[in-house]
Each structure stands twice: as C-alpha cells, then as structure tokens.
Homo-oligomer: A and B are copies of this chain.
Amino acid sequence: MIIIKIGGGNGINLKAIIKDLKNIDENYIIVHGANALRDEIATKLGYEKKIITSVKGYSSVFTDAEGIDIMMMTYSGLKNKRIVELCQLNGINAVGLTGLDGGIVEGQKTRGIRVKDGGKLKLIRDSSGKPKQINTKLIQLLIENDFVPVLTVPILDENRNAINSENDDIIALLQKYLEADKIVQLIEETGYLADKDNSDSVIKNISKAELKNLEEKAEGRMKRKIHALNKLFESTSPTVFIADGRIDTPLTNALNGGGTIIK
C-alpha cells in the first residue's frame, strides 16, 4: 500500500501525476493539498487570512467558520473534483473524499491559544485541530472494490464538526492505520535539499537517525515537516520518497530514487 501525497502548490503537474498512476502496481490512496488555490480564491472573495500570535511567540493561521467554507470550496470542492476528473479521464475509478465522509478522520479541536488582547490574557479557539483516529472501513471498502480514494481536509472534531488539520499529521495517522509501507510526497522541489537554495543539492538517502539531526538544524515550516516525518518513523518503518511533482513522470521518478529516499 502506497500513500501518495500531492502538494497544493501551483507548480505541481497534476496531469502528469495522474497519468503516471498507471505505472503503480500496488494499492494506493491519494492525499492532496490545495493551499495555492485556497489563497487565490480567498483573495478573490475578499477573505483576509488572520494570523494570531500566542504569548509564547508562535504565529499560526486562525481558521474561522468562513475559513472552513473556503477550505470546503477549494480543497474538498474544486481541487478534489478536478483530480477525480483527471483520474476518470485516465481510466482510474477515483472517489473524492474528505475526513468528514464516512467519518474517515476523527480529530480533536485545539483547546485554545493564549493571546494577549490589550493587557488581558485571552484563550482563543479556532476551527482547527489534530487528527486522532482513522476509521478505515470506507477506505478499505473502496480499495477492495477497485476504487481509488482521493482524500483531503477538513476532518471531524470530537463533536463531529468540520475542522482544519495538517495533511502531514493525517498522513502519519493513515500510514499507521493502513500499514502503508511506502509514502510518496510530491513537492515543488527536486527532493530534500542539503542547501535549500540549490535544487542540485538533493540528499539521495536519509536514514532514520539522520532525520533526527536534520530536525534540530531545520527552521520554520521545514522544521515542522521534518518533525512530522520523524513521528512517522516512531512506531513504524515505511519508506518515504520525497520527489519532484512538477516533471513528466513524477511517481516513477520518485519510486526509482529520483528524489530523496528516507528509510
């Protein structure tokens, strides 16, 4: 079983990726983002991204009800269905899903972020949280019957309301529940780079031990991404392929070691 993660950047070559699916002999599930599309539509709709900063100094995006609306339009709607359409065009019987459908991904809403409002300390809760459990019934049923699940956000919180969540966290949980032995991450880069400004500096192989060191050295969003990778290896031993999602045969290239292999 392979989990194929398709990044949500504008440079990702969706047509090439979906065409390349024919070369995959194993069962797979697709998980995709849509951040570039979400930002584009949000801007057109005049929706301003709200950034909140906790008293500890961490900044994060605040997802309100309208933010979930826009997520549903772009992730669950436009991007998900255009991927399903591309699959159907290529003879792949895809079924587009969110974490809500069939209760696939159940999570827990963040308890709140402490912020300073004027002089006062305030606890702010938004509509985001962590995935805690995968209900595999629907996914297994689809795969057993030759359908290809195409999954994206939102997910359910503990009260069964829609919340935002990180795809990396969802994939880590999926990997555990589905016992996937391979994870392919298709990104807008040639692989994991030694020098983030040099696309020729792809690190071909990374061991589990090296991943720990990389996390310590990394900064910002990349630190969180490597943290998610490290979590992936905590309880299981998959092989992770991080490779270019912009080229002609992104999946074949990734699985043949064209990018970075972590194991």
- Residues of A whose CB lies within 8 Å of any CB of B are 41, 44-46, 69, 72-78, 80-82, 84-85, 88-89, 93-98, 100-103, 137-138, 141, 145, 147, 154, 156, 159-162
Contacts and interface: CB of A to CB of B under 8 A. Distances in A.
B103 A93 contact: yes
A114 to B, nearest CB: 28
Tell me how many chains of this kind the complex includes: 2
Given A94-B102, A95-B138, A141-B145, 18 more contacts: A41-B73, A44-B44, A45-B45, A72-B78, A72-B82, A73-B77, A76-B81, A77-B77, A77-B78, A81-B100, A81-B154, A84-B100, A88-B100, A88-B103, A89-B160, A89-B161, A95-B101, A96-B98
Contacts of A100: 81, 84-85, 88, 94, 96
Contact of A101 (B84, B103, B145, B161): B84
A223 to B, nearest CB: 31
Contacts of A156: 85, 88
List 9 tightest A-B contacts by C-beta distance, closest first.
A77-B77, A73-B73, A88-B160, A73-B77, A72-B81, A72-B78, A95-B101, A85-B162, A72-B77
